[in-house]
Amino acid sequence: MTEVGCNRDRHQVLVKLDKVSKRYGAHSVVSDVNLTANSGECLALLGHNGAGKTTLFKLMLGLIRTNGGSVQVAGAEPGGTAFHNIRRTVGFLPESVAFQDTMTGREVLEFYARLKQVPDEECDRLLKRMGLIDAARQRVRTYSKGMRQRLGLAQALLGEPRLLLLDEPTTGLDPELRRHFFDTIDGMCKAGAAIIMSSHALTEIEAHADRYAILAKGRLAALGTLRELKRQAGLPLRIRLTFPNGGAKAAAGALNGPCNLAKVNDKHIHLDCPEADKMSVLRMISGLNDPAQDVEIEPPRLEDLYAHFTGRERLQ
C-alpha cells in the first residue's frame, strides 16, 4: 500500500493535555487528565460510554473549553486565533456521522475540500479509496449506514492531515473495509501523522495502536504501551489444559504451587499463573502422570487489561 502523506518529524508532541478538567454545572465529565500524542503514533482512547472520550475530542478541536488545565494542538490553543491555520491539518470523524441528505457524496466531499483548501482532484481519489466512486453522484439520503461512515472517513482524510481524531471509526464497516481502513491508518502513522482513535473493538485495535489511554469515570486510569500496561496490571497468564478420557479432575489434584485453579471440569483445567512462574508451572504440568493432550498459554489481552483498569472482571 502506498503511504499517505509526507515524512514528518517523528516523536514530535502534537497534542498535549495538562491537568484537563471539564464539567457541566455540578457534573464532572473529565478530571485532571494528562495526555500527549506524538507524531508517528496511533494512540487508542478507551473507556466505557460516558467515560469522557468524546469530550476530550471536542476539547482538542476547540469546540468546547476546559474548566481547568490546558490543551495544546501543534503548540496552539484550540479555538484561539493561532489555531486557525492548524485546523486545516486536523481530520476528525465523529461517532455519529451526519451530512446534508440532499447533497451527493461528491458534493459533500467537495464542500469539506473547500473548507480545507484542498484541490477537488483529491475528492475522487478518496471516494475511490473508500469504495464510493460509483455512488459519488447519488444523494446521501440513499446511502447505507456503512456508506455514510466511509464518506465520513473520506472527509476526515482530506488534506493528508497531520493529526487525525477518530471516534468509533469502524462502525458500520464490513471486514474487508475494516482491513483497508487499518492499512490506511498504519500508512499514515509511518508517514508521521498522529492518530487518536476511540473504539470499543478492542481486539482489532490491539494490533494497530502504539499506546493505550484507558479512561474510567472521566479519569485516566492507565496509559502506556501494551507491554507497559501488562507490567502495571500484573495480571497472570491463563494456561488451558485439555485431558483425554475425563482425566482433568484427577490431574488438578496434582497441581500446586503458584498457580490458581480458575476452572476445572472433566476434560479441561484453566490455570492462572504469574508470568515469573511460567516455566516452573510448565515443568510441573509436563511431570503429570496423566499427561495433558493440549496446552495453551494465553497472556493478558487488551480486553483483560481494560477490564482490570476499569474495575471489571477478567473475561473468561
Quickly tell me which residue has 484507558 as its cell: 214
| Domain assignment of residue 5, yes or no | no
Q: Which domain holds residue 45?
A: 13-231
Based on the fold, state whether residues 178 and 240 are members of the same structural domain: no
Query: How far apart are alpha carbons 58 and 121 in whole angstroms?
Result: 30
DSSP-derived 3-state class of residue 102: coil
| Domain assignment of residue 1, yes or no | no
| Domain assignment of residue 6, yes or no | no
| Domain assignment of residue 79, yes or no | yes
CA neighbor of 53 nearest in space, from 79, 24, 33: 33
For residue 96, which phi and psi values (nearest 5 degrees)? -110, 110
Based on the fold, state whether residues 166 and 285 are members of the same structural domain: no
| Domain assignment of residue 98, yes or no | yes
Q: What is the CATH number of the domain that holds 61?
A: 3.40.50.300
Residues facing residue 167 across a β-bridge: 198
| Domain assignment of residue 316, yes or no | no
CA neighbor of 56 nearest in space, from 84, 16, 89: 16
Based on the fold, state whether residues 138 and 198 are members of the same structural domain: yes
Based on the fold, state whether residues 210 and 242 are members of the same structural domain: no
Based on the fold, state whether residues 158 and 258 are members of the same structural domain: no
CA neighbor of 90 nearest in space, from 20, 171, 8, 194: 194
Q: What is the pLDDT along the chain (316 residues), one digit of tens a residue?
A: 333 333 445 578 999 999 999 999 999 999 999 999 999 999 999 999 889 999 999 999 999 999 999 999 999 999 888 888 888 899 999 988 889 999 999 999 999 999 889 998 899 999 998 899 999 999 999 999 889 999 999 999 999 899 999 998 888 788 888 888 888 889 899 999 999 999 888 988 998 999 999 999 999 999 999 999 999 999 999 999 999 877 888 888 888 778 888 888 989 999 999 988 999 889 888 888 888 889 999 999 999 999 999 986 544 4
For residue 192, which phi and psi values (nearest 5 degrees)? 110, 5
Q: What is the CATH number of the domain that holds 263?
A: 3.30.70
Based on the fold, state whether residues 267 and 202 are members of the same structural domain: no
Query: How far apart are alpha carbons 12 and 119 in whole angstroms?
Result: 28
Region of 74 (left: φ > 0; alpha: ψ -120 to 50; beta: rest) is left
Q: Report CA Rg, the chain.
A: 24
Query: How far apart are alpha carbons 195 and 185 in whole angstroms?
Result: 8
Strands, sheet with 219-224, edge to edge from the N-terminal-most edge strand: 90-93, 163-167, 194-198, 42-47, 211-216, 219-224
Based on the fold, state whether residues 155 and 288 are members of the same structural domain: no
Q: Give the pLDDT of residue 312.
A: 63
Q: Give the pLDDT of residue 74.
A: 92
Based on the fold, state whether residues 43 and 184 are members of the same structural domain: yes
Q: Do residues 102 and 144 touch, judged by C-beta distance below 8 A? A: no
**Element holding 154 (H helix, E strand):** helix 145-157
From 212, 231, 250, give the residue that closes a domain: 231
Based on the fold, state whether residues 225 and 242 are members of the same structural domain: no
Query: How far apart are alpha carbons 188 and 274 in whole angstroms?
Result: 37
**Cα–Cα–Cα angle for 312, 195, 124, rounded to 5 degrees:** 125
Based on the fold, state whether residues 57 and 181 are members of the same structural domain: yes
| Domain assignment of residue 280, yes or no | yes
| Domain assignment of residue 291, yes or no | yes
**Element holding 124 (H helix, E strand):** helix 121-129
Into how many domains does the chain fold? 2
Based on the fold, state whether residues 247 and 161 are members of the same structural domain: no
Based on the fold, state whether residues 157 and 241 are members of the same structural domain: no
